[in-house]
Amino acid sequence: MGILEQLRTEAAKKQQDQFSQKELDQQLAANYRRDILPRMQQAFRFMKELVDHLNFLEHAIEVENYSDLYPQFGRLKQTNYKINTDGIMGFTDINKLMQINVSYSCVGEGEFYLPREGKGAIEREISFLHEKKLNFDWKPLPMREGRVCTQFRIQRSVPVFLRFEVDYQQSKIKLQIRNHFNFDVFDKVFLPEEINYELLDEVTRFMLRKDHDFIRLSISSEHLQDIRQRLEQHKREQDALQRRIQQEDSEFKPREDKPWLARLLPSKKRDG
């Protein structure tokens, strides 16, 4: 094959690829306008009205024992509903919807403290708290047996996120829910025709904690296993830390069967 003929073949192939890509782009655009956009508009109007009503009515939704992983959160109150379509705080053209973001908070009073021991455990804790977008800080504690120790201070406030997002290349709509309960992660992909009033009502009932079957039946076995592993690891670390603290306390605390040790230790001054 001569050079010119080879170039003709390459040019013909490139033209065919460009034509195929143009056809694909046109098909995806048609799918979006015909199938996806009307469903996204329906979902937006539904969720916008829902958020407006919830904020106006100020219904108190109590969340009992939000997290098995962090039982210190205790009882929280669900509040502060917001919606946007630009990923920040505003709204895009309703004829160009690509995402619908709903957020709310599960809030309690004050804060709680969480000790962690060992570099690995501390780094995992920081990574997890950042990932879940919790408000926290930490300070170093005295080392124990050569191991780094840290105390975390965590605010009793958990941000919850719900998003409808267009998967343009697949002509589908993704639903993502984060932190609704026990820092869960929920992802599911829907065909456009599946986004209807019945599904939106199911999502709403789940949001308002009236029905948990929507996510319970859909959560993956992999995520359930991840939750179990985190709980087991958390319990092991807490048990080990508690044993060390008790051991150190027993080494320095005067015992009733050793009164001579109590006499050697400085006595506390009494008031008055």
* pLDDT of 260 over the 50 cut: no
pLDDT of 227 > 60? The answer is no
Rounded average pLDDT over 236-255: 63
Q: Quick one: average pLDDT of 259-266?
A: 49
> Is the pLDDT confidence value at 75 over 90?
yes
End-to-end CA distance of the chain: 109
Q: What is the pLDDT of residue 270?
A: 46
Band (pLDDT 50/70/90 cuts) for residue 267 is low
- Residue 161 in contact with residue 177, Cβ under 8 Å? yes
Percent of the chain with pLDDT over 70: 77
| pLDDT for the residue 42 | 97
Taking only Cα atoms into account, the Rg of the chain, rounded to an integer number of angstroms, comes to 28
Mean pLDDT rounded to a whole number for the chain: 84
pLDDT at 143: 85
pLDDT digits (tens, 9 = 90+) for 179-208: 999 999 899 999 999 999 999 999 999 999
- Spatial distance between the Cα atoms of 211 and 215, rounded to a whole number of angstroms: 9
Instruction: Check residue 65 and give left, alpha or beta (phi > 0: left; psi -120 to 50: alpha).
Output: left
Contact status, residue 233 vs residue 227, Cβ threshold 8 Å: no
For the stretch 100-159, pLDDT in tens is 999 999 999 999 999 999 999 999 999 999 999 999 999 988 888 888 999 999 999 999
Question: Can you give the three-state secondary structure of 166-211, one letter per residue?
Answer: EECCCCEEEEEEECCCCCCEEEEEECHHHCCHHHHHHHHHHHCCCC
Residue 21's pLDDT is what?
82
Could you tell me how many residues make up the chain?
272
What is the Cα–Cα distance from 46 to 99, expressed in whole angstroms? 14
Is the pLDDT score of 231 beyond 70?
no
Please give the residue that has the higher pLDDT: either 261 or 7.
Answer: 7
Beta strands in the chain (DSSP E): 61-63, 76-84, 99-117, 136-144, 147-167, 172-178, 185-190
Cβ-based neighbour number of residue 156 at 10 Å: 21
Which pLDDT does position 259 carry in this prediction?
52
Average pLDDT, stretch 163-167? Answer: 97
- Tokens found for residue 179: 């932190």
In the chain, % helix, strand, coil (3-state, to 5) comes to: 50, 25, 25
Whether the predicted pLDDT of 265 surpasses 80: no
Task: Check residue 226 and give its pLDDT.
Answer: 61
Confidence label for 13 from pLDDT (cuts 50, 70 and 90): confident
- The answer to whether 45 and 51 have CB atoms below 8 angstroms apart is no
Query: What are the residue boundaries of the structural domains of the chain, listed by start?
Result: 15-252
Per-residue pLDDT, 217? 42
Angle between helices 37-57 and 197-207 (to 10 degrees): 40
- At 101, list the tokens: 């973001």
| pTM for this model (two decimals) | 0.72
Q: What amino acid occupies position 139?
A: K
